[in-house]
Structure formats: structure tokens, C-alpha cells
Copies of this chain bind each other. A is one copy, B any other.
Amino acid sequence: MEVCITSLLRDKGFKVTPQRLAIYNMLSSTRSHPNAEMIFNELQAMYPTMSLATVYKTMEILKEIGLVQVLNAGEDSFRYDAVMTNHPHVRCTECGKVEDVYDVNIDAFVNEVSQGTKYQIMGQQFYFHGICPNCQRKNSN
């Protein structure tokens, strides 16, 4: 993994810096789909000089070299995901968490749209929102 990002950065002419490694490592070891501020807050402890601008600039680079995808889950800020397979996301409108959705057949759906619209579909984003099992339980109490 480390090797991967290191050589990927270098191949594209970007420098390998501690900040970039830290940001990517943090992102790839969580499933919380953090936004820039969450990443910043978590890394600030270990990297006291870390700035939000660096997080944004790094995300830009990581997106460019194909290591992260940017999620727009209908909130006011972007979330980031180091899992690059294109999968839907579901956001809980009560507690705000964003989770992955696996085990659904996207391809058939995409094909249907492609044929119906005559568009050459390059990608898609599926966002669901609702109430997670946890919050459902809380609500019923």
C-alpha cells in the first residue's frame, strides 16, 4: 500500500511527503467517509502544523492519481473514500454517518440508462438517505 502510493506519486511528478502519506493512510484505514475537516481534525494531533489547505490540495492530487473518490452525499461538504470501486452510499439523516452499500447490481441499471438516454455513460453516483438501524432503534424507545 505504502509502496503503491509512493511510486504512484513519484511517477506522476508529485513529491512524496509525510503529510500526503498520513492523509492517505488515515483515509484508507477508515470506513467513515470523512470530509476535509474530519481528516484535518484527526491528523492535527499527530501533525500539529497540518492545515486544511494541505488536506484539500492532497485530496486533489489523490483524486487525480486515482487513489480516492469524492462523494457528494447531498451535504454541504465533500466526503472522501479510498475505496475506488464504484458503490452506492447511504447517509443516515439522523446521525449523519455515511455507509457503503454493497451487494447490489449496478451494471444492469447503468446499462438501462445508457441505452435509454443514448449517453455514453462515464460514471454515476447513487446516494440514498434514510434512517440507520441504530437510529431506528433509538427512535422507537
Contact = CB atoms under 8 A, between A and B. Distances in A.
Contacts of A92: 119
Interface string A24-60: 0000000000000000000000000000000000000
A116 to B, nearest CB: 5
Identical subunits present: 2
- Interface band, chain A: 35 or more
28 contacts: A72-B74, A90-B119, A90-B121, A93-B122, A101-B116, A101-B117, A102-B116, A103-B116, A105-B112, A109-B109, A110-B128, A119-B131, A119-B132, A119-B133, A120-B131, A120-B136, A121-B128, A122-B129, A122-B130, A122-B131, A123-B128, A123-B130, A124-B126, A124-B127, A124-B128, A124-B129, A125-B126, A127-B127
